[in-house]
Structure 1
Amino acid sequence: MMEDERIHRPRVLVVDDEEDITGVLADILEEQGYSVDEASDGDEAWELAQKDPYDVVVTDLKMPRMGGLELLREIRKANHPSIVIMMTGFATVETAIEALKIGAYDYILKPFKVGELLQVVNRAVEKIRLEAENLHLREQLTLLQLSEAVSSSLSLDEVLRIVVEAACREVGADAVELWFRPPKEAGFTRRLGLGPNGDETPLLAAPDRLEALLGAKPHLQVQGEELASLLTEQGRGRMHTLLSVPLRRGGQVLGLLNAYSRRKRAPFRPREEKALIVLGDRAAASLENALLYADLENTFRETIQGLALAIETKDAYTHGHSENVTRLAVAAAREMGLDEAFCQTLRQAGLLHDIGKIGIASSILNKPGRLTPEEYEIIKGHPAMGKRILEPISFLRDVVPIVYHHHERFDGKGYPEGLAGEEIPLASRVMAVADTYDAMTSDRAYRKGLSHDVAVAELERCAGTQFDPA
């Protein structure tokens, strides 16, 4: 049953072995807008409650077969959300305390005025309404956090952890696993498995048996032998119920969100099933975004490699130079403790730092001897040409200033802008060191490359003038 339905027409079960009492109470409660069922003892009441738990159960204490306390124990053992109100003409302090300890909401003595009972039932229903509102607010907060995570720069692993932690919390599961099935591939990979305390769980489901869960729409609850056939040996001994939600997106199943419970009876309520479906939808959106991003990244990488190849085709000297500069610059950045996003941008800039040479005549680029001053001035134009080539490409926007300024000097005597010190982008300063080292150690038509030690000594000598001394 949906939460709003429970609020608008609460369901009440009245249990007493005296038919005239159940009849009168049922009539009064129905006049107040409640949906009421009647039962003559605990056994009959429990049979009705198992089919669909009630919002409120008003039960006599002493009855034939199953009494009120036993009924209360069964309701609590099954983890039903029902609020139980006890009524009796044989009250003692001990029975009242016992009923409250087991989980009774209130205790009414017979004979009672109708107004007393209505007051207690109304209070119980108001409690349900407030809990439902609180639950709704918590769900909205969780979904807001998930939406922010999905739309922010968080990694896929971080988003999926938020989903799994939220599933443990909102569904009341003893463990949750998130399984991923890459498109056009067979089989599942477990991305994450957590318990209520955030600890990683052992493998519960057997990866090669999960295909059986893919037909679930929108979810599937599995127990008994069917569940045992899906679990690993460790899982069989630990879990007794599985609630599985396929992660569907664009007509394909990207994975599964599996919630496990150690309970056999009423392990997951309808609200919890709904919560897992919503969380599964968020997880599917995150996986789809990750796949789209991976495709975009592959296209991006191929574009950069194509541009880098265009440089090498134009200038024989640059063969391998861009890769060398990239490798050295990224290694230096990591040694400096710079983050992965910085290193990724630096990697792209390294491959493209000489892209502007495409606009320079091959006769100058491949000249076997030293360049004339005029030719050198033309060569010095390649950072500006690189900027013009890369600026229209939106996904290379962060790369442009690195490429444009990689020939600046720390003392302000470089080109194209003559920037000095920290005016020069940090990535350009790192790139300048890597670029110069590779140029010094590479063979040219008119000279042999320098040794590593000589090149390093030259870099150290120029620290503070050509290069950042830090």
Structure 2
Amino acid sequence: MTTITKLESKVKELSKLLEALKELNAAIDLQDIFQGILNQMVMIAEAKEATLWVLEKEKNRIVAKASCGVSAESLPLPTLTVGEGIIGNVINTGKTDVVENAEQGMGEYKAMLTVPLKAKGQTLGAIQLVNKKDRSAFDDRDVKLAVTLAEQSGLALHNSQMYDELYKMFLSMIRMLAEALDARDPLTKGHSERVARYAWLIGKRMKLDPQVCFELYQAAILHDIGKIGIEDRILRKTTGLTDSEYELMKKHTEIGARILSAIKPNRFFQKSIDTALLHHERMDGSGYPNKLKGEEIPLFARIVGVADAFDAMTTVRTYSEGMSVQEAAAELIRCKGSLFDSEIVDTFIEILDDCSYDLQAFPTEDAV
């Protein structure tokens, strides 16, 4: 089994897992669950305040994610270091902490109940209740209630974190697949990643939803996957293609759509399938393979079409020195409305303006 075949198989496996988790998460808004649980705790335990904290291991910190009776932003320390204070200690030990009369100042006292958020034997965060409305201490009944509701939060948080981790693993496999393809053609090394980054930045500037931007990034990084099926004598040719070779090269769009269509369920990859097939369509109908016009071309394919053309124009090849960034931008502007979507070209030009046409200064923030 070749490396590319192994990667394709792994992507298929991960896509099935992600589809199941995506449907689960679509029906459950984690923030709504947290807020609902805190509201229940405050009401039943008759507490004045409640805050939910989540451990972010990678960043070595604990962050307030939801609150009731006080805004998370107004907390003295909305972000804690691991192990800091009562909350940090509860997360470290996994044990509930009850404080009956911590001195608050000005002769006032504060009662606190802090319970860990646990799932699958791990402590993921903590919930803290502050002050009973009747100024009494938190009793055993309050502790049992808090622990029960914290279990619900812990499971919801665990599912969400598992989904996020799988998503990152999935994207990593997608990148590896794209890199394996790019490695076949050293002249265009990094092409898929650059096009994906340009496309994602365009989507972000167009104020597309973050999830849609991620799907756009995924579609863009896979747009040329069909070149796996193009012979090396054509793909790696160091001189210009003949007419017949160019016709064979054009088949990469249909090959890519077929490859991605094999990943089930299709609806998880439909935008990627469409983008692989249609990113060479042009606004005036002169593109391929279906000679679509204008908004008949899906938005993702129009965005990737601009990003792909820009990277192709600025890439140095043995038979072409490549255009400067300014020259490629001018060509996009010249062809907007005829070959490329005008709004998308204008958006990309704005991004280039922001970095003064210096690709070294181009935004590099991660898409995920």
Secondary structure (helix, strand or coil) at the match of 1:446 reads coil
1:336 alignment counterpart:
206
2:54 alignment counterpart:
180
2:255 alignment counterpart:
385
State yes or no: 1:401 paired with 2:274: yes
Distance 1:434 1:182, change over 3 A: closer
State yes or no: 1:223 paired with 2:100: yes
Distance 1:193 1:310, change over 3 A: closer
Give runs of aligned pairs for residues 261-276 of structure 1, distance below 5 A.
261=131, 266-268=136-138, 273-276=143-146
Secondary structure (helix, strand or coil) at the match of 1:190 reads strand
Residue from 285, 298, 307 that aligns with 1:425: 298
2:8 alignment counterpart:
none
1:188 & 1:258 partners in 2: Cα distance? 17
Residue from 412, 419, 431 that aligns with 2:285: 412
Secondary structure (helix, strand or coil) at the match of 1:240 reads strand
Distance 1:156 1:235, change over 3 A: farther
Distance 1:398 1:160, change over 3 A: farther
1:462 & 1:186 partners in 2: Cα distance? 45
1:15 alignment counterpart:
none
2:342 & 2:145 partners in 1: Cα distance? 56
2:271 & 2:106 partners in 1: Cα distance? 52
1:397 & 1:344 partners in 2: Cα distance? 14
1:211 alignment counterpart:
89
User: Which whole-Å deviations, capped at 9, do the CAs of 1:329-376 have from their partners, x for residues lacking one?
Assistant: 122222222221121111112211111101111110111111111111
Task: State the AA in 1 paired with 2:69.
Answer: P
User: Which whole-Å deviations, capped at 9, do the CAs of 1:131-190 have from their partners, x for residues lacking one?
Assistant: xxxxxxxxxxxxxxxxxx98436664554344434433443322222233457x897613
User: Which whole-Å deviations, capped at 9, do the CAs of 1:288-324 have from their partners, x for residues lacking one?
Assistant: 0122112202220221111011111111232021122
Give the TM-score taking structure 1 as reference length. 0.59
Distance 1:451 1:237, change over 3 A: farther
Distance 1:439 1:155, change over 3 A: farther
Distance 1:150 1:246, change over 3 A: farther
Task: State the AA in 2 paired with 1:431.
Answer: V
1:161 & 1:346 partners in 2: Cα distance? 31
Residue from 100, 107, 110 that aligns with 1:240: 110
2:186 & 2:258 partners in 1: Cα distance? 23
1:308 alignment counterpart:
178
Distance 1:150 1:383, change over 3 A: closer
Give runs of aligned pairs for residues 13-162 of structure 1, distance below 5 A.
151-152=25-26, 156-157=30-31, 159-162=33-36
Asked if structure 2 preserves the Cα contact closer than 8 Å seen for 1:175 and 1:195, the reply is: yes
Q: Which has the higher contact order (CA 8 A, sep 6+)?
A: 2
1:445 & 1:329 partners in 2: Cα distance? 26
Give runs of aligned pairs for residues 292-303 of structure 1, distance below 5 A.
292-303=162-173
Q: Percent identity, aligned pairs only?
A: 36
User: Which whole-Å deviations, capped at 9, do the CAs of 1:90-144 have from their partners, x for residues lacking one?
Assistant: xxxxxxxxxxxxxxxxxxxxxxxxxxxxxxxxxxxxxxxxxxxxxxxxxxxxxxx
Asked if structure 2 preserves the Cα contact closer than 8 Å seen for 1:179 and 1:256, the reply is: yes
Give the TM-score taking structure 2 as reference length. 0.74
Task: State the AA in 1 paired with 2:84.
Answer: P
Distance 1:175 1:408, change over 3 A: same
Asked if structure 2 preserves the Cα contact closer than 8 Å seen for 1:310 and 1:358, the reply is: no
Structure 1's consecutive aligned runs of 4 or more residues displaced over 4 angstroms after TM superposition are: 153-159, 185-188, 212-216, 234-239, 262-265, 267-275
Moved more, 207-216 or 401-410: 207-216
Secondary structure (helix, strand or coil) at the match of 1:175 reads strand
Task: State the AA in 1 paired with 2:329.
Answer: V
Distance 1:174 1:201, change over 3 A: farther
Residue from 296, 320, 324 that aligns with 1:451: 324
Distance 1:235 1:416, change over 3 A: farther
Distance 1:428 1:244, change over 3 A: same
**Considering only aligned residues, what root-mean-square deviation do their CA atoms show, in Å?**
3.2
Distance 1:174 1:466, change over 3 A: same
2:41 alignment counterpart:
167
1:235 & 1:398 partners in 2: Cα distance? 59
Distance 1:435 1:212, change over 3 A: closer
Equivalent residue pairs, number: 312
Asked if structure 2 preserves the Cα contact closer than 8 Å seen for 1:177 and 1:190, the reply is: no
Deviation at 1:380, TM superposition (A): 0.6
Deviation at 1:278, TM superposition (A): 3.8
Deviation at 1:444, TM superposition (A): 1.9
Secondary structure (helix, strand or coil) at the match of 1:174 reads strand
Deviation at 1:264, TM superposition (A): 7.9
2:194 & 2:59 partners in 1: Cα distance? 38
1:257 alignment counterpart:
127
Residue from 226, 233, 245 that aligns with 1:356: 226
User: Which whole-Å deviations, capped at 9, do the CAs of 1:2-57 have from their partners, x for residues lacking one?
Assistant: xxxxxxxxxxxxxxxxxxxxxxxxxxxxxxxxxxxxxxxxxxxxxxxxxxxxxxxx
1:83 alignment counterpart:
none
2:249 & 2:105 partners in 1: Cα distance? 67
Asked if structure 2 preserves the Cα contact closer than 8 Å seen for 1:164 and 1:176, the reply is: yes
